[in-house]
Chains A and B, each alone.
Chain A
């Protein structure tokens, strides 16, 4: 599909604006809507999507369009920050290294979700994102889940407060579109369910 878009820009309409970088399925920059489904165009073969010989290429859904096929991902990353999707440790350089067992239950949860490269496909595929403009979205919540399970992080209570609420994990209605469409086979649904349980546990313990 990326070859098709590139051909259009080179041979048919030089004004076409579109995004790509690595061309080999590593960066996620080329994500677009192809025949109604958000995909990486560099990893989508025309045979697979043009079943009846027709192709419709559009920018990613649920995001403002800058021009043509280029979407503005600012709100996507802003929500990442709102979900406290960044690591905040408490150790200093004089402390010893943290020891995290790879086979521990928590680390396995992190490892299943850590490979996210922020391509926006899940966000573009989510019905709740389109219905609720404040909804943090699958990627931001997935990242929050990896940090909730990171034993080195020191701000979990604040993070749980950030991801709870009707703009957070509680707005997920398990359509599972995110897990269905993620090009890296991550299941944000699992992480969001985990966040729901973690928030409930904290509430029952009076910590929230």
Chain B
């Protein structure tokens, strides 16, 4: 039934939003701190290399994005491009996989 599916997506969107609110606050604070005096690879990697804390944080961040972004785009595609149905679902699931895959690759990139 469409209403069960929509209810689940609504709950996932709000749950991932709550997680992302915390992640984004930390991320923005980190960015503003890190960007002072210029960005350098040494400085960034010095923070993240071998640091399980940052790795865990960014993994949660990436996975929450993989849930939140496609569900958000879903409404926009339906309302502004009149795109609904199976093909939209396929594309969005693929996009979720892309975010998760490229995101985790980046996390490993700065951790390893």
Residues of A bordering B, CB below 8 Å: 128, 131-132, 161, 164-166, 168, 170-171, 173, 196, 199-200, 203-204, 208
Contact = CB atoms under 8 A, between A and B. Distances in A.
Given A128-B79, A173-B75, A168 B3 contact: yes
State the majority secondary structure of interface residues on A: helix
B57 interface: no
What size tier do the contact residues of chain B reach? 10 to 19
Contacts of A170: 6-7, 9-10
A164 B7 contact: yes
A131 B78 CA distance: 8
Contacts of B7: 164, 170, 199-200, 203, 208
The 10 closest A-B pairs by CB, nearest first: A164-B3, A131-B79, A165-B3, A203-B7, A170-B6, A165-B6, A165-B2, A170-B10, A166-B6, A199-B7
Q: A132, A165, A168: which has the most chain B beta carbons within 10 Å? A: A165
State the majority secondary structure of interface residues on B: helix
20 contacts: A128-B79, A131-B80, A132-B79, A164-B6, A164-B7, A165-B3, A165-B6, A166-B2, A166-B6, A166-B78, A168-B3, A171-B75, A196-B10, A199-B3, A199-B7, A199-B10, A200-B11, A203-B8, A203-B11, A204-B11
Contacts of A128: 79
Contacts of A132: 78-79
Interface in B1-21: 1-4, 6-11
A60 B1 CA distance: 33
Contacts of B3: 161, 164-165, 168, 199, 208
Given A170-B10, A196-B10, A203 B79 contact: no
